[in-house]
Structure 1
Amino acid sequence: MPVKVITAPTEYPVTLAEAKTYMRATSDTSEDAWIQRFIAAATQLFEGETGITVSSSVLEKTLDNFPSAIELDRPPVASVSSIKYDDIDGAEQTLSALDYVLDNSSDKRGWVVPVVGSVWPDTYAGSINTVRVRYVAGWSSASAVPDNIKLWIGAHVASWFENRSSDTEQKLIRQPALDGIVKSYRLYKL
């Protein structure tokens, strides 16, 4: 089911200063905006290739009804902010946090299940997107992001910056030597 970004990250795992270190750049600030765009693009590329969320973001997953367990996409999952659903009369309800449990013991998967001895409530029949789970995913701060992810992002930023051109259709050069890092984080559906 679809997952959308409600609140985008406020910081990326590689700072401007760190990117400049990867690039062996001077203190010149004239191209800082470009470097920051490359940091965002490299982070998004890593997230797209792996299915994980690097920088802390608020996401929302929508479902047509409650499954037995809700898999939260784009881990690592830090917390569940809310679970809202349309009840059998079509009125929006918010589940109490006491009614469900988050299993985020793995950086690879996040699950939400009803508390022991209970079941999910019934939802509005025949409708779509009747369940909406809002949650926080990604590492809590840039300093918490694993170093090998930062290395992957920094190396791509440096390569792209070095190989940029004035062509409107410039190609972003990949770093095949670092693909093992992506493979170690890539999520596969069970």
Structure 2
Amino acid sequence: MRPMLIGAPAIEPVSLAEAKTWLREDGADEDQLIQALIVSARLTLEAYTRRFFVTQSWRLVFDAWPESLRTTSALSIPFAPFQSVSVIRFFDANHDPQIVPAASYRAPAANDGGRVIFASAPPPPGRNADGVEIDFVAGYGALASQTPEPLRRAILALVAHWREKRGDETDDALPKAVAQLAAPYRPERLI
């Protein structure tokens, strides 16, 4: 399985104006830096929490259908919060894409990772590599305000930390306040 971003978020969960207010910054001299820090903080916290904050589109590419389809008729999509499947396609022996009819599966929205549940097994792909593609949408919503407030505050705190330190710190860990804000949204690892 290979994930590919196909539609980045249209907005950031925290605006430049919000960040400048948080930082008590009046001038425009550091606007580019602050905007870059917002994007970097979002990406860092999305990786830390394994969640997408603002709606974005992704594609999962498989060589073949996962083995789980044979036993459970379900395919797991490990991206959260899961909103919907846009399209599922497989490639035939001529490398032509074939769309799996939406009526043959369901993909309910979920606060955690999603699942695609098939009514019957989909046709096998006709090529050995990159034979299956699933396009889907994940994120809390299209509006910045739909991102949970603690995650928005974590972005602001991380932006402030990075701006203040400007690379002086060698510690790779998230600042304690940032980690505490994001912790409730980070899934626990099962042993």
Q: CA deviation at 1:50?
A: 1.6
Match of 1:132 in 2: 133
> What is the TM-score when the length of structure 1 is the normalising length?
0.85
Q: Which runs of 5+ in 2 are unaligned?
A: none
1:180 aligned residue: 180
Q: How does 1:138-149 map to 2 (within 5 A)?
A: 138-140=139-141, 141-149=143-151
Change (3 A) 1:153 1:21: same
Q: Is contact 2:78-2:114 (8 Å) kept?
A: yes
What is the alpha-carbon distance in structure 1 between the residues aligned to residue 56 and residue 133 of structure 2? Answer: 16
Residue aligned with 2:136, SS: strand
User: Does residue 107 of structure 1 match 2:121?
Assistant: no
CA contact (8 A) 2:83 2:108 kept: no
Q: How does 1:1-190 map to 2 (within 5 A)?
A: 1-26=1-26, 28-66=27-65, 67=69, 68-87=73-92, 90-104=95-109, 106-114=110-118, 118-124=119-125, 127-140=128-141, 141-164=143-166, 174-187=174-187
TM-aligned CA deviation for residue 129 of structure 1: 2.2
Q: Quick one: distance in 2 between partners of 1:65 and 1:147?
A: 39
Give the Cα–Cα distance (whole angstroms) in 2 for the partners of residues 136 and 88 of structure 1: 28
Normalising by structure 2, we get a TM-score of 0.85
Q: Percent identity?
A: 31
SS at match of 1:128: coil
State whether residues 43 and 153 of structure 1, in contact with CA within 8 Å, keep that contact through their aligned partners in structure 2. Answer: yes
RMSD between superposed Cα atoms in Å? 2.4
Q: Distance in 2 between matches of 1:131 and 1:71?
A: 14
Q: CA–CA distance in 2 between the matches of 1:172 and 1:30?
A: 28
In structure 1, the gaps of 5 or more residues are none
In structure 2, relative to structure 1, the CA distance for the partners of 1:31 and 1:44 (3 Å cut) is same
Cα distance between partner residues in 2 of 1:112 and 1:80: 8
Q: Following superposition, which runs of at least 4 residues in structure 1 exceed 6 angstroms of deviation?
A: 169-173
Contact persistence 2:9–2:55 (CA under 8 A)? yes
Tell me how far 1:88 sits from its aligned partner.
6.0
Which is further off, 61-70 or 42-51?
A: 61-70
Q: What is the distance in 2 between the residues matched to 1:65 and 1:126?
A: 8
Tell me the secondary structure at the aligned position of residue 124 of structure 1.
Answer: coil
